[in-house]
Amino acid sequence: MTEPSCMRRWVAAATVVLLLGACAPTARTLGPYRAKAAKTAEALQSAVASDLLVIESVKRRHPTAAYVSVATSQAEDDASTAASSFLSIDPPGGDEATKLRDDLSDLVDQAEAALADVRIAGHQGDRAQLLEQAPALRDLAKRLDDFAQGAKA
C-alpha cells in the first residue's frame, strides 16, 4: 500500500469517528429520559442549595470574599455542566417527553440566571445583594426538587 493511500484511509476513518461523535445522543424511550431529567434537576437543585449555604454563611459573616467568589462560581459551573449534558439529548418522540424537556429547560434558565446573580454579587462583595437572593433560591430549590420527584414518578 502506498503512503498517500494509507493517509487517505486514516483521514476517512478519522472523519467517520468525528461525525459519529458529533451526533446528538437520543433517549430511545421515555423512562431513561425521565431519569436523566430527574438527575439533571437534582444536580441543579444541589448547585442552588450550595449557594444557599454560602449565603447563610455570609449572613453569619463567616466566609472570606475569595471563598464566596470561588464557591458561587463552582455552583454555577456545576449547574451549567448538568444542564448542557441533558439539553444535548434529543428527547424520544411524544408530547410527554417534549413537555418534560420544555419544563426542565425553563427551570434551567431560571437556575442559571439566579446562580449568575449570586456569583456576580459574590464577586462584587455585595453582601446585601447576596442576602436578597436567598428567598428566590429557596423557591427555586423547591421547584427543582418537585420537578425531580415528579420525573421519577
Model confidence band, residue 43 (pLDDT cutoffs 50, 70, 90):
very high
Instruction: Please check the confidence at residue 14 and state whether its pLDDT lies above 90.
Output: no
Lowest mean pLDDT among 6-10, 39-43, 57-61, 99-103: 6-10
Model confidence band, residue 40 (pLDDT cutoffs 50, 70, 90):
very high
- Nearest in space to 62 (alpha carbons), one of 82, 9, 71, 85: 71
Per-residue pLDDT, averaged over 47-56, amounts to 97
Q: What is the pLDDT of residues 104-123, one digit of tens each?
A: 999 999 999 999 999 999 99
Instruction: Please check the confidence at residue 21 and state whether its pLDDT lies above 60.
Output: no
List Cα–Cα distances, 148 to 34, 46, 64, 109, 151, in angstroms.
9, 12, 33, 16, 5
Task: Please tell me the predicted confidence (pLDDT) of residue 36.
Answer: 95
Q: Which residue has the higher pLDDT, 96 or 21?
A: 96
Q: Number of helices (H) and strands (E), helices first, in the chain?
A: 5, 0
Instruction: Please check the confidence at residue 38 and state whether its pLDDT lies above 50.
Output: yes
Instruction: Please check the confidence at residue 85 and state whether its pLDDT lies above 90.
Output: yes
Task: Please tell me the predicted confidence (pLDDT) of residue 153.
Answer: 82
